[in-house]
Structure 1
Amino acid sequence: MSSTFRVDPRVRATWRWGGAIAALLVVQSLAVAAIVWVMVSGSHRREIDTALAGDCRFFARTSVGEQREELREMLTRDIHRDRFLALFDAGGRLIDGNVARLPDRAGTVRGSFVATVAPTELPGKASDVARLMLCPLPGGGHLLTGFDLDDAEDALRIVERALLLGLLPAVALAVGFGLVAGRRAARQVDTVRQVTGRIVAGSLGERLPVGDNPDSFGLLCAHINTMLDRIQSLVADVRGVGDDIAHQLRTPLTRLRAGVEREMRGADDRAAFQAASDAALAEIDQLLGIVAALLRIREFEDHARRSRFAPVPLAAVAEDACELYRPTAEDRGIDLRCEIATVGLVEGDASLLIEAMSNLIDNAIKFSPAKGRVTLSLAERPTGIVLTVADEGAGVPEAERVLVTQRFYRGRHECEGAGLGLALVKAIVDLHGFSLGFAATGSAVSIVAPLRQV
C-alpha cells in the first residue's frame, strides 16, 4: 500500500512567497558583502600603488650620488620592517638595499605586481611575498620598491571574518523575514481568493478587509472594494430595469390581451375588426415607447454619448423647443411664452438637451389648468445658465420631489403616461453634469448648467 503526501496549497504558497523573498534578501546580502570586500581590497592596493609610485618619483629626482644615502635613511625609518628597497645597476646587479636580487617577474610587468623576494635584512627569513614595483632611474639603473603583504593579508583576513560573521545573521534574518512576509502575502492572497470566490457564487455584498492604516495591498483592496461597489450598483440597476419592465408591462399586456380577445369575439364586421386592430396597435406603440425610454435612460446613465459632446448654443435649442410645442399648446388652449436671453455656450448634445426641454414643456402643458400659461425662461446668472419651465399648476409636493425623477413614478394617477418623463430628464441632466431643481413654491422646474470655462 502506498500513500501520497499532499501539501496544503496555502502552505505551498507560503513556501513560494517566502522562498522568493528570502532568496532576494540573501542575494542582496551577498552582493553587499562582495562590494565591501572589493572596496576594501581595492582601497588597500591603491594606497600601496600610490606609495610605490611616490618612491619612484622621489628617487628619479634624486642625484645618483645621493640615492644610496636616501635609501638607507628610508630603511632606517622603517621600524616595522615591512618595506623593501633596493638599487640595481643596468646589468641587474645589486648596488644597495635589503633585497638580494631582482624577482623573476621584474621587468615583464608594468606597474605593481606580487612576487617572492629574497630579503637580506630579515634574520631567519629567506623569502617573503610582497607587492613590488620596478622603476627605471636616470643613468640606466633601477629601483625596486615594495611592501610586505603579511600585515595586509592579516587585515584582509580580519575583514573576511567580519563579513562572514555579518553574513550569517543576515542570511538567517533574510530567511526568517522571507518566511514571515511570504506567510503574510499568502494569507492576503488567500483572503482575496476566498472573497472573490464568494462574489462569483453570488454574494455581491462581500468586500475585502481594509485596515485603519492600509499599506499598498490595503490601498489596492480599497480600490477593488470601490470597483465592487460600482459593479453591485450596476447589477442592481440592471435588475431594477428588468423588474420595472416586468412590473410595468404586465398590466398593459394583460389589458391588451383582454381587449383584443373581447373585440375579436364581439366584432362581426370589417369595421369592428379594424377598430380592434387600431386599439391594439396604440397599446403596442405605448409599450414600445416605454421600452425605448428605459433603454435611453440606461444609455445616458452609462455615459455612452459623452464622446459626442460639443459646444451647444443653449438659446437656439430653447427656441427650437418652444417652436416645436407651440402648436400643441395652442390646441390645448395654453399660452406658451418663451423668455430667452442671450447666454454662453455649454458642452453637451443638442438633441438630448432639446429632448429634456421638450419633456419639461410637455409636462407643464399637461399639468397646467385650462387657459393657463406655461413660461420657458433662459438667463445667465452667477450660479450658471438657468433654464426654467413654469406652469400655473399646483407643482410637485416637497415630499415627492425625490420620487418624481424615479422610473415609473406617477404622483398624479389621473394623468396619462408611464412616469418616465422626469426620469429621462434627470438622466440627461446627470449625463451633462448639470443640476435639476424644483421651485420652493409654485410649479417650476429648473436646469442649471455651469458656465463654460473659456
Structure 2
Amino acid sequence: MNSLRPRFLGSAAYRIALVYALGFAVAILLLGIAVTLVAHAAFMHQLEAQIIEDSGALVAEYQQEGHEGLNFAIGEREAGNTTSELLYAVYARDGRHIAGGLHANRPPRGWSDLDFQDRLEGPDVARAWAVDLSDGTRLVVGADWSVVERVDHMLGGIFLAAFAVVLLISMIGAVLLGAYLRHRLSAISSAADSIMAGDIKRRVPESRRRDEFDALARSLNQMLDRITALLENLRQLSGDIAHDLRTPLARLRNHLEESLEESGDPARQRDRLSSALEQTDKVLSLFAAILRISEIEGGRRRASFRSVDLTALAQEICETYAPAVEEGGRVLRSDIAHGVHVQGDSELLAQAIINLLDNAQAHTPAGTRIQFVLERESGSACILVRDDGPGVPAQALDSIFRRFVRLDPGRSTPGHGLGLNMVAAIITMHDGRLTVGDNVPGLKIGFTLPSATI
C-alpha cells in the first residue's frame, strides 16, 4: 500500500484527476449547504405566513363572535378538527392565561421565540406571533420548533447521503480518469524511450478517437518524420561532401608531391602549383556555397527587404547572360512583364534567377532553346525557366532542390549540386513557392513570390 501511494501521488495524471474530483466535491458541498439554507429559509417563510394567516382568521372570528367564538375556534383547531399543527393561547392584560393549549409567559407583540412546556416532550421552544385584540387581550399563534428541526434533519440527511454518493463517484471517476490519462501518456513516453534507444522508425500510436492526444501524436509523428528525413539528409550530405572533397584534395596532394619532385624545371613547377591552386579554389567554393546557404536559411537578411523592381532585374540578367548562352550553342529567349515589383532582397533574387539559368545551361546540350518568363498571376510574380533539353526523370523531380543532389550517379559533372538548393533557400526566405515539372520535352522550373505589388 505504501509503495502504491508515492506512485499514485507521483503521477501528474492522477494528481490532476484528484484535484478535479476534490474541486467537484467542494462545489457540491457548497451547493448543498446553499440549497439547505435556502430550503430552511423558504420553510420558515411558509410557516410564518401560515401563522399570520391563521392569526388573521382567529381575529376575524373574535370580531364576529367575541371571546366565545374565538375560544371555540381555538378548541376546534387543537382538538384536531383541522389539519393545523399550530399552538394557540389567549392572555389577559395582566398576563393570565385565558385560553389555548400553549402555556407560557405572555410574549410581547410581534414575533418572538417563546419557551413553553410541552405536555409530551417537556420544555420546548415555539416560533410565536402575538397580536392584541380590541379588549386588550393578546392572541398568540405559534409553531413548535421541532417541526422546523425535523425538516432540517430530513434535508441534512438527504444532502449528506447525496454528497457521499457524489464524492464516491468523483473519486472513482478521478481514478479512472487518471488511469486513462496515464495510459495515453505512457504510449507517448514508451515511443520516446524507444526512439532515444535508437529505434528512429518507432512512432507514437494513434487511436480512432481523434481527440487531443491523437492530435498530439500526429504532431509528434510529423516532427519525427521530419527529424528522420533530416538525419537521412545529413547522412547523405556527409557522404556527398566527402565524395566532392576527395577528388580535389587528392589532386591537390598529387600536384604538391609532383612539385616537390620537380627540382629542375620552374615552368613545370609553376603549372603544378597553378593546378593546386585551382583545386584549392574548388574546395573553398564548396564551403563558401554551404555557408551562403546556411546564412540564407538563417533568415537574417529579412530585415533588409525592400521593394524590388523585378522587371528591371530580370531584363538586366537576361541581357547579360544571352551572349554566354549563345556562345555555348544554345538560344535564350525572354518574355518579361512590365512593372512587376516585389518585397525582397534584390541580390538574393538575382542569385536565384542566375542559378536557374546556370542550371538550364549546364544540363542541356548545344542547340537547346531556353525561355525565361516573368508574368503576373493572381497578384503574384511568377518566374519560369523552360528548356527543350533532355529533362529530368519524373521520380527525380522532387529531389532536385535538395542539397548536393546530382542526377549523375558518378558525380562527374561539374558543380557541387548546390545551385538549386540555394534557389530553394532564397525563395523559402521570401515566403515563395517553388515549381518544377516536365516541359515535354525538357524541364520547366521556377518560383512564385506572394504579395507582389504590380
TM class, shorter-length: 0.7 to 0.9
Partner of 1:428: 426
Deviations 1:230-249 (A, max 9, x none): 33334444444333323322
* Residue identity in the other structure for 2:176: V
Structure 1 residue 287: Cα displacement: 1.9
- Among 277, 280, 285, the residue aligned to 1:281: 277
- Sort the Cα spacing of 1:323 and 1:22 in 2 relative to 1 into closer, same or farther, 3 A: same
Structure 1 residue 98: Cα displacement: 5.0
SS at match of 1:342: coil
- The question of whether the paired residues in 1 share the 8 Å contact of 2:388 and 2:440 is answered with no
- The question of whether the paired residues in 2 share the 8 Å contact of 1:343 and 1:385 is answered with no
* Residue identity in the other structure for 2:422: L
- The question of whether the paired residues in 2 share the 8 Å contact of 1:429 and 1:447 is answered with no
- The question of whether the paired residues in 1 share the 8 Å contact of 2:14 and 2:175 is answered with no
Equivalents in 2 of 1:134, 1:291: separation in Å? Answer: 106
The question of 1:438 aligning with 2:437 is answered yes
- The question of whether the paired residues in 2 share the 8 Å contact of 1:438 and 1:445 is answered with yes
- The question of whether the paired residues in 1 share the 8 Å contact of 2:248 and 2:283 is answered with yes
Partner of 2:401: 405
Deviations 1:381-411 (A, max 9, x none): 5696442324564444555434543433334
* Residue identity in the other structure for 1:45: M
The question of 1:261 aligning with 2:257 is answered yes
Equivalents in 1 of 2:224, 2:446: separation in Å? Answer: 32
Deviations 1:349-373 (A, max 9, x none): 4333221110112233345555876
Q: How does 1:179-328 map to 2 (within 5 A)?
A: 179-266=175-262, 268=264, 272-297=268-293, 312-326=308-322, 328=324
Structure 1 residue 328: Cα displacement: 4.0
- The question of whether the paired residues in 1 share the 8 Å contact of 2:340 and 2:452 is answered with no
Deviations 1:394-448 (A, max 9, x none): 4445554345434333346664212222232244345533232234324453324
SS at match of 1:389: strand
Q: How does 1:119-138 map to 2 (within 5 A)?
A: 127-133=123-129
Equivalents in 1 of 2:249, 2:122: separation in Å? Answer: 118
Indicate the larger mover: 63-72 or 29-38: 63-72
RMSD between aligned residues: 4.4
Equivalents in 1 of 2:14, 2:392: separation in Å? Answer: 65
SS at match of 1:401: helix
Equivalents in 1 of 2:354, 2:385: separation in Å? Answer: 10
Q: How does 1:320-399 map to 2 (within 5 A)?
A: 320-326=316-322, 328-329=324-325, 336-342=332-338, 344-346=340-342, 348-367=344-363, 374-381=370-377, 385-391=381-387, 393-398=389-394
Structure 1 residue 314: Cα displacement: 2.8
Deviations 1:24-57 (A, max 9, x none): 454455444434433322321232344456678x
* Aligned length in residues: 442
Any stretches of 5+ residues in structure 1 without a counterpart? none
The percent of aligned pairs where both chains have the same amino acid is: 27
Any stretches of 5+ residues in structure 2 without a counterpart? none
- Sort the Cα spacing of 1:62 and 1:81 in 2 relative to 1 into closer, same or farther, 3 A: closer
SS at match of 2:383: strand
Structure 1 residue 346: Cα displacement: 4.3
If the length of structure 2 is used for normalisation, what is the TM-score? Answer: 0.76
